[in-house]
């Protein structure tokens, strides 16, 4: 060994020894380090509303930041509901049904030490909506836009009260405010609105503080010991997020101990994971895997054809194909949703499907679906679509699958049916986390694409009238009655082809303790510990 090598070796040994001594100190609290293999292709951005779909919200958004209204993720027996966040209470102005009053939580501090107040809320809303303001961030405008289309303005009433106005009467606006992340004005001004710098030093009010990140590889967070919700101060010592888009890579990483939690293991890996002692957790959540249909042109303009397609599906076969990792889908929302009701059930009935097609005079009934090879929430799109095709063809359909990548399918989805009238259905799974996204956007004529997510331009006076009543009803119980009617009406109309609901599978090492899987796209990681 040369002298320099010997020095280097000595230094390495010293560093290794130092690390060995440091580890017990780092784990002094005994909460351990939770390392999560995400399905995301990259680390979500940290400048507020994240990218990478709801996985970005789950692991980065709601951990670094808070929203005015949050989600109660503490239990897994029923669908998650809204709970106070940075706003302790909110209500509609009795004199103006388009004006919401939010009472803000006192004593909250940003991670950078500045106090949270009404000016921060006004500034945050301007950042995402006012392209003339210096704080305007086009990225956040895009990320938050889906929740702020009906937002008209905000005003400060006092240091701890703000009022927001909507363009039209909208009882569901409160749900939108559960997605808009509040970022620190202090930090943004400190970095002179350079959002790249901000991304490296983000500051929120959330239960975790940003510690460090290596681009594309890992992000580390530490508990925010001063979190305002003392019950939700993280119990683990450190949270590490690693993007791993390949399912086989995630599985191998968990089995080899590189991570102790992975999202969405592939169904064929579940047996292997279980045999190695890993825990598989699942729970229904507001997700749907459906086909949105073309109501302008083609066979699905006939209700009988839509019903035939729904009767033709043998959903239990699909569940078996996915090793049980799905809930059979018979409606837009899963049964645990408060406004599920008693929708018309399209249980597998081949004879009925054939009879309906015959009655509609559509034999063979030629339809074309646009599908993707992968994508956010798309589960196992290729085999699932093949099974749907096979089921439907037994009933008398002749199905053509137009397969494309996720990005290309989103292009079709956003543009709407008029630009792609030769397509009769699109297979885009949706988050059904709140009433608007679960039900309204699919069938509201005001949301017809490209203005909204009603891809196939579904439109009936009855449905529009019911949606108007829902938007005007501010009492939760009464609104849920109307939403139940709406869900039942969507089933009666066979407004979609209902196939499956994902059950949110995740696999974790037996060392991971304390996790309660909420019926939500979002999860609370704060109670989790990792045994040594």
State the residues that interact with another protein by CB under 8 A: 8, 12, 41-43, 45, 47, 51, 131, 138-139, 141-143, 145-146, 149, 195-196, 199, 214-218, 242-246, 248-249, 252-253, 255-258, 376, 404-408, 410-411, 413-415, 428, 430, 441, 449-453
- In the complex with another protein, the residue whose CB is nearer, 271 or 415, is 415
Q: How far is the CB of 334 from another protein (least distance, A)?
A: 20
Secondary structure letter of residue 450 according to DSSP:
T
- In the complex with another protein, the residue whose CB is nearer, 192 or 216, is 216
Taking CA 294 as the corner, what is the angle to CA 291 and CA 300, rounded to the nearest 5 degrees? 85
Q: How far is the CB of 246 from another protein (least distance, A)?
A: 6
Beta-bridged to residue 512, according to DSSP, are 530
Q: How far is the CB of 248 from another protein (least distance, A)?
A: 6
Q: How far is the CB of 420 from another protein (least distance, A)?
A: 11
Nearest to 523 by CA among 297, 261, 313, 309: 261
Nearest to 261 by CA among 525, 74, 35: 35
- In the complex with another protein, the residue whose CB is nearer, 258 or 484, is 258
Taking CA 17 as the corner, what is the angle to CA 12 and CA 19, rounded to the nearest 5 degrees? 95
Beta strands 425-426 and 287-293 are antiparallel
Count other Cβ atoms within 10 Å, centred on residue 8. Answer: 12
Q: What are phi and psi of 444, to 5 degrees?
A: -85, 125
- In the complex with another protein, the residue whose CB is nearer, 30 or 257, is 257
Residue reference for tokens 């949703």: 337
Q: How far is the CB of 77 from another protein (least distance, A)?
A: 30
- In the complex with another protein, the residue whose CB is nearer, 228 or 295, is 295
Spatial separation of the C-alpha atoms in residues 297 and 324, rounded to whole Å: 36
Q: How far is the CB of 482 from another protein (least distance, A)?
A: 23
Q: How far is the CB of 345 from another protein (least distance, A)?
A: 28
- In the complex with another protein, the residue whose CB is nearer, 92 or 262, is 262
Q: How far is the CB of 273 from another protein (least distance, A)?
A: 11
- In the complex with another protein, the residue whose CB is nearer, 200 or 347, is 200
Spatial separation of the C-alpha atoms in residues 165 and 148, rounded to whole Å: 11
Secondary structure letter of residue 73 according to DSSP:
-
Spatial separation of the C-alpha atoms in residues 491 and 107, rounded to whole Å: 47
Q: How far is the CB of 378 from another protein (least distance, A)?
A: 11
Q: How far is the CB of 166 from another protein (least distance, A)?
A: 16
Q: How far is the CB of 427 from another protein (least distance, A)?
A: 13
Beta strands 279-281 and 506-508 are antiparallel
Tokens representing 257 are 């101990």
- In the complex with another protein, the residue whose CB is nearer, 445 or 485, is 445
- In the complex with another protein, the residue whose CB is nearer, 131 or 462, is 131
Mark 155-177 as b/e (b = at least 16 C-beta within 10 Å).
Answer: ebeeebbbbbbbeebbbbbbbbb
Tokens representing 371 are 């599908």
User: What stretches of 358-516 adopt beta strand conformation (E)?
Assistant: 365-372, 397-404, 425-426, 430-431, 496-501, 506-508, 512-513
User: What stretches of 224-364 adopt beta strand conformation (E)?
Assistant: 238-243, 261-263, 279-281, 287-293, 327-328
Distances (CA, A) of 216 to 43, 259, 531: 6, 16, 27
Q: How far is the CB of 252 from another protein (least distance, A)?
A: 4
- In the complex with another protein, the residue whose CB is nearer, 104 or 449, is 449
Query: Do 90 and 154 touch, CB atoms closer than 8 A?
Result: no
Q: With H, G, I as helix, E, B as strand and everything else as coil, classify residue 66.
A: strand
Residue reference for tokens 């009935």: 349
- In the complex with another protein, the residue whose CB is nearer, 108 or 244, is 244
- In the complex with another protein, the residue whose CB is nearer, 148 or 490, is 148
């Amino acid at each position: 060994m040369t002298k320099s090598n010997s020095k280097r070796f000595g230094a390495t040994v010293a560093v290794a020894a130092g690390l060995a001594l440091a580890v017990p100190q780092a784990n002094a609290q005994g909460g351990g380090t939770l390392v999560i293999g995400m399905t995301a292709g990259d680390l979500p951005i940290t400048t507020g509303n994240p990218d990478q779909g709801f996985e970005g919200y789950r692991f980065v958004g709601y951990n670094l930041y808070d929203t005015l209204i949050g989600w109660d993720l503490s239990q897994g027996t029923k669908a998650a509901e809204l709970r106070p966040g940075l706003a302790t209470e909110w209500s509609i102005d009795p004199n103006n049904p388009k004006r919401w009053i939010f009472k803000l939580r006192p004593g909250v501090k940003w991670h950078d030490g500045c106090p949270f107040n009404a000016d921060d809320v006004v500034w945050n809303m301007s950042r995402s909506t006012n392209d003339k303001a210096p704080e305007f961030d086009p990225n956040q405008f895009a990320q938050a836009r889906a929740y702020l289309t009906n937002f008209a303005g905000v005003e400060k009433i006092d240091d701890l009260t703000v009022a927001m106005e909507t363009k039209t009467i909208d009882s569901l606006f409160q749900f939108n405010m559960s997605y808009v992340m509040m970022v620190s004005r202090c930090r943004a001004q400190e970095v002179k609105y350079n959002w790249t710098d901000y991304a490296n030093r983000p500051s929120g009010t959330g239960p975790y503080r940003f510690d460090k990140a290596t681009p594309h590889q890992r992000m580390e967070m530490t508990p925010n010991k001063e979190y305002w919700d003392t019950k939700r101060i993280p119990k683990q010592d450190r949270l590490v997020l690693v993007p791993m888009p390949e399912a086989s890579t995630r599985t191998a990483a968990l089995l080899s101990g590189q991570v102790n939690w992975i999202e969405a293991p592939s169904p064929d890996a579940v047996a292997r994971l279980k045999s190695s002692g890993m825990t598989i957790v699942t729970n229904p959540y507001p997700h749907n895997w459906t086909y949105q249909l073309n109501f302008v042109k083609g066979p699905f303009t006939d209700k009988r054809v839509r019903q035939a397609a729904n009767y033709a599906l043998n959903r239990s076969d699909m569940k078996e194909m996915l090793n049980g990792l799905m809930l059979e889908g018979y409606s837009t929302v899963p049964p645990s949703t408060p406004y599920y009701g008693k929708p018309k059930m399209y249980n597998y009935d081949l004879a009925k499907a054939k009879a309906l097609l015959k009655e509609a005079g559509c034999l063979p009934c030629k339809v074309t679906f646009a599908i993707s090879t992968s994508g956010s929430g798309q589960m196992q799109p290729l085999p699932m679509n093949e099974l749907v095709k096979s089921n439907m063809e037994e009933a008398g359909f002749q199905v053509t699958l137009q397969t494309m990548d996720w990005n290309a399918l989103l292009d079709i989805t956003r543009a709407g049916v008029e630009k792609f009238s030769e397509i009769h259905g699109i297979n885009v799974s949706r988050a059904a986390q709140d009433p608007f996204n679960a039900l309204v956007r699919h069938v509201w004529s005001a949301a017809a694409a490209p203005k909204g997510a009603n891809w196939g331009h579904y439109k009936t006076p009855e449905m529009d009238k019911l949606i108007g009543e829902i938007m005007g009803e501010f009492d939760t119980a009464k609104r849920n009655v109307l939403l139940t009617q709406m869900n039942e009406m969507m089933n009666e109309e066979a407004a979609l082809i209902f196939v499956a609901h994902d059950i949110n599978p995740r696999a974790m090492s037996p060392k991971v303790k304390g996790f309660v899987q909420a019926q939500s796209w979002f999860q609370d990681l704060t109670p989790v510990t990792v045994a040594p």
